[in-house]
Amino acid sequence: DGGITQSPKYLFRKEGQNVTLSCEQNLNHDAMYWYRQDPGQGLRLIYYSQIVNDFQKGDIAEGYSVSREKKESFPLTVTSAQKNPTAFYLCASSIERREIQHFGDGTRLSIL
């Protein structure tokens, strides 16, 4: 069954700590995205990648970093520079230049 797997489901970050959220897809999609969802706000784009070894900043990239070493994987690191990391993080994928067809079930990140 094709889809996007995000892990972990819940994550807690201590002060000064970097944490990495995993996103894996088996849909053979070219494009992958990371969004942040806060209550009462739309999804905000953090980073996106159209092909392996290439990615672009979205609207709120500060304090985050990504890599795209494999087509299937697009991990997001929330660094200590991100001062307000508490949010629901969603990974998504699409056939390049098409609508977003698949989202993962998200990772909820909280500060300890």
Instruction: Write the DSSP symbol of residue 97.
Output: T
Shortest separation between residue 89's beta carbon and other proteins, angstroms: 10
Number of residues that bind other proteins (CB under 8 A): 27
Under rule CB under 8 A, residue 69 binds other proteins = no
Shortest separation between residue 22's beta carbon and other proteins, angstroms: 14
Distance CA 23, CA 21 (A): 7
Instruction: Name which of 64, 62, 88 is nearest 74 in CA terms.
Output: 64
Under rule CB under 8 A, residue 18 binds other proteins = no
Distance of CA 72 to the CA centre of its chain: 13
Region binding other proteins by CB under 8 A among candidate stretches 11-19, 38-46, 62-70, 71-79: 38-46
Q: Is residue 20 within 8 Å of residue 76, measured between CB atoms? A: yes
Tokens 């996007």 belong to: 4
Which letter, b or e, does each residue of 79-103 get, where b requires 16 or more Cβ atoms within 10 Å of its Cβ? Answer: eeebeebebebbbbbbeeeeebeeb
Contact with other proteins (CB under 8 A) among 48, 64, 72, 87: 48
Under rule CB under 8 A, residue 98 binds other proteins = yes
Under rule CB under 8 A, residue 50 binds other proteins = yes
Q: Which residues in this chain contact other proteins in the complex, by CB under 8 A?
A: 4, 6, 31, 33, 35, 40-43, 45, 48, 50, 90, 92, 94, 96-106, 108
